Structure 1
Amino acid sequence: MSSHSGVWTIGVEEEYQIIDLHTRALSSDAEALLKAMKAHPNITVQTELQRSQIEISTPICQNLSEVRTALCYARQNLIQQARTMNLGIAAAGTHPFSPWDEQILSPSSRYTVMEQKYQQLTREQVIFGCHIHVGCRDRDDAIQIANRARIWLAPLLALTANSPYWQGKDTGYTSFRTELWWRWPMAGPPAHFTTYADYQTLVQALVSNRSIDDSTHIYWDIRLSERFPTIEFRIMDVCLTVQETVMLTGIIRALVQTCYQQIHLQSCYAQTPTEILRNAHWRAARYGLEGELIDVSTNSLVAAPLLIKKLLDFVRPALEENGEWEEISTSVQTVLQMGNGATRQRQIYQKNSSMIDVVDFILKETAQIA
């Protein structure tokens, strides 16, 4: 097995809602906003599936300080530019009330093909996620890391669940984005792979039988990126605040480092069936921090904060080595006390029964520049 050299690089992608500041509904002005953002060449911005979405990407970062700086800079400049167009930028996994059938697909051949193939799934795909990449050039190592990291995704989702509302209704879920996303045939938890060659064999089989056009159409909750030499974590809703995204990034990088160390120590780990993981992720999407989650290592239900503490204990040596333990553990404790994004959205709605107030809250939280 090769040894990892240098820093475990990190990169973050965040998908945002474009909001009409007059109505607080989604606005299909992504192309105009993207054109205006060309005046900010230091920010990587692109359109997404719907014209009411816009995505930012950080540069390759060496540490959490660089991640925070990049996210703050991107959010701040995007928000300021949007305001000049009477638009807002909101970071939540779903919009509280905008109907899916009022959204317009982006004019891209990729998205046109997706609509032709997946039909209603594509049209209703009005969701906003956060993708975190951790650099790992050796694909065999990356598969083994993913095998170990996949059993820790549920507590990550519970911490960051931020989409309780859909089409003006409380869905009963903390991350309804997860449920909308999982309807796609190549979404959800990945399988366990013995080797990278096994992974490649499956991908080739999917391409051969025309289930997918290429490996970029694999949408698992954790996957090997085809664009970059990274492991990509995709299960999370976009976070309300920069600090929560930084917290998440720190945990995920430490998780990758810990799993890599386990490979070299040949430590045992739970080769959990995908069906159990899917149920574990469902519980995290349904209950968030306020219910019981599945501890797959013991196949038992535990209170969400206890499973999150178990995750933090697991990655603590890596966080301490990175000089990030105090910051990350404090941030996690803050979220456990205040609630994740879904809980905080619901608290706002309970005051005045106003979805407009919820959107205003999301806009305010998104603009919190740490």
Structure 2
Amino acid sequence: MDDLAPGPPVPAGSTLGVEEEFHLVDPETFRLAPSPGLAAAALAGEFGARVHPEITTTQLETATGVCRTLTEVRDELAATRAEARAAAAGAGVVLLPASTHPFAGWREQVITPGPRYEAMVERWAGLAQRQDICGCHVHVGVPDLDTAVAVLDRVRPYLPVLLAMTGSSPFHDGADTGYESYRTLQWGRWPHTGIPELQGSADRFRAVVTGLVAAGVIGDASHLYWDVRPSSHLPTLEFRLADVCTDVDDVVLHAALVRSLVRVLAARAERDEPVPEVRTELLRAARWRAARDGLGGQLFDPVTGALVDGRTAVAGLLAELADDLADAGEEDDVRALVRQLLGRGTSATRQRATFRRTGDLREVAATIVREGSAHG
């Protein structure tokens, strides 16, 4: 693989973009709605650069353009969601912006016809056929692969708290899973997901990719599904850990925190500050705890080995990023978005509140659709 070409080198964190995946549901029953015509049109590029197909015909993906400010991120997210909603409406379906559908299952899905998706089923078999989750990915610009790997190695301890702030998948296949992000557990079944090991250098990262290709686990670097990875085709570091955020405000917050971390950690790498030595087993434990409890319980700090209240963990992250956010003119906006998130809870928290009030998972799905349309 190359050093994150194409494009001229950019300072770490100067650009960002967001990809979101959505379930497609019937507007009356809110069941998953296979939409082969919509998938074929998206596959043919009929909806333009922002709207793309996904592995099943009950999903659709969007991608913003390259953004430089949080205002641009918000505007691009509003535009991509509006275009996806319009495309879906033409097929008689609506978007459900959450990582799992509350009551439908994988058997109601149909794989999207196309070489890439057919190759995925051929390689990963039942894992690909049962892929009934959606995610949110943030790309942050970096100048080269060395910087991408240096930030990847340093960002690992921060990933669990970022995950805890985005949970939207408490229900799966008609049951409360006991997790805020059940998607994380579902995704963890794949052999090349989760928090990556320390890479150490660009050369070592390339060697890992080469080994995974030789093993047949992946076809190329574009199929590397870690929680954070150097992009195979863009000059970016891609963060893939988040659930789909129902509310656009939460997507903007997640993107802002991710980009700030890239700026801060790239600067530490430039100063040759040491990489935190954290056991991967403890990082996995922290990720599991964040997926289970979100912000409503205690998170595990893999650096100190202590349990920390979710709000305290968020406050600690903000304190660490405060100078960078202030320098970028983003601190007030980010703190306001954090206050809003802590006040109303994640999508997962709100979904459970709806179910407690109504006892009806159909109403949970309907509420997700309404919230997503109102705020995006």
What are the superposed Cα offsets for residues 25-84 of structure 1, whole Å, 9 maximum, x if unpaired?
11111542663896754x511111111000000011111111111111121232244334
Confirm or deny that 1:183 pairs with 2:189: yes
Equivalent residue, structure 2, for 1:253: 259
AA aligned to 2:302 is V
AA aligned to 2:303 is S
Task: Quote the Cα distance in structure 2 between the aligned partners of 1:110 and 1:340.
Answer: 33
Q: Secondary structure at the match of 2:296?
A: coil
Residue 188 of structure 1: how far off its partner (Å): 0.7
Q: Secondary structure at the match of 2:57?
A: coil
Equivalent residue, structure 2, for 1:197: 203
Equivalent residue, structure 2, for 1:125: 131
Residues 13 and 142 in structure 2, CA contact (< 8 A), matched pair in contact too: no
Structure 1, unmatched stretches of 5+, are: none
2:174 to 168, 171, 176: 168
AA aligned to 1:353 is G
Confirm or deny that 1:16 pairs with 2:22: yes
Compared CA separation, residues 361 and 30, structure 1 to 2 (3 A): farther
Confirm or deny that 1:275 pairs with 2:281: yes
1:59 to 56, 65, 68: 65
Task: Quote the Cα distance in structure 1 between the aligned partners of 2:179 and 2:12.
Answer: 40
Residues 28 and 103 in structure 1, CA contact (< 8 A), matched pair in contact too: yes
RMSD: 1.8
The equivalences for 1:335-350 within 5 A come to: 335-350=341-356
Q: Which moved more, 1:51-60 or 1:211-220?
A: 211-220
Confirm or deny that 1:112 pairs with 2:118: yes
Residue 363 of structure 1: how far off its partner (Å): 0.6
Task: Quote the Cα distance in structure 1 between the aligned partners of 2:217 and 2:45.
Answer: 37
Residue 242 of structure 1: how far off its partner (Å): 1.0
Structure 1 residue runs of 4+, over 3 Å off?
3-7, 36-41
What are the superposed Cα offsets for residues 335-357 of structure 1, whole Å, 9 maximum, x if unpaired?
11211110000001111101111
AA aligned to 2:294 is G
AA aligned to 2:248 is V
Q: Which moved more, 1:217-226 or 1:75-84?
A: 75-84
Confirm or deny that 1:155 pairs with 2:136: no
Equivalent residue, structure 2, for 1:328: 334
Residue 212 of structure 1: how far off its partner (Å): 2.0
Q: Which moved more, 1:10-19 or 1:20-29?
A: 20-29
Identical amino acids, percent of aligned pairs: 35
Task: Quote the Cα distance in structure 1 between the aligned partners of 2:328 and 2:97.
Answer: 28
AA aligned to 2:214 is S
Residue 332 of structure 1: how far off its partner (Å): 1.0
Compared CA separation, residues 280 and 353, structure 1 to 2 (3 A): same
Equivalent residue, structure 1, for 2:301: 295
Q: Secondary structure at the match of 1:226?
A: coil
Task: Quote the Cα distance in structure 2 between the aligned partners of 1:38 and 1:140.
Answer: 34
Residue 265 of structure 1: how far off its partner (Å): 2.7
1:244 to 245, 250, 255: 250
Residues 129 and 234 in structure 1, CA contact (< 8 A), matched pair in contact too: yes
Residue 85 of structure 1: how far off its partner (Å): 3.6
TM-score, normalisation: structure 2: 0.93
AA aligned to 2:296 is E
Structure 2, unmatched stretches of 5+, are: 1-8
Residues 12 and 140 in structure 2, CA contact (< 8 A), matched pair in contact too: no
Q: Secondary structure at the match of 1:106?
A: coil
Q: Which moved more, 1:31-40 or 1:299-308?
A: 31-40
Confirm or deny that 1:90 pairs with 2:96: yes
Aligned length: 367
Equivalent residue, structure 2, for 1:28: 34
Compared CA separation, residues 303 and 229, structure 1 to 2 (3 A): same
Compared CA separation, residues 39 and 107, structure 1 to 2 (3 A): closer
TM-score, normalisation: structure 1: 0.94
Residue 284 of structure 1: how far off its partner (Å): 0.4
Residues 34 and 46 in structure 1, CA contact (< 8 A), matched pair in contact too: no
Residues 38 and 91 in structure 2, CA contact (< 8 A), matched pair in contact too: no
Task: Quote the Cα distance in structure 2 between the aligned partners of 1:89 and 1:229.
Answer: 30
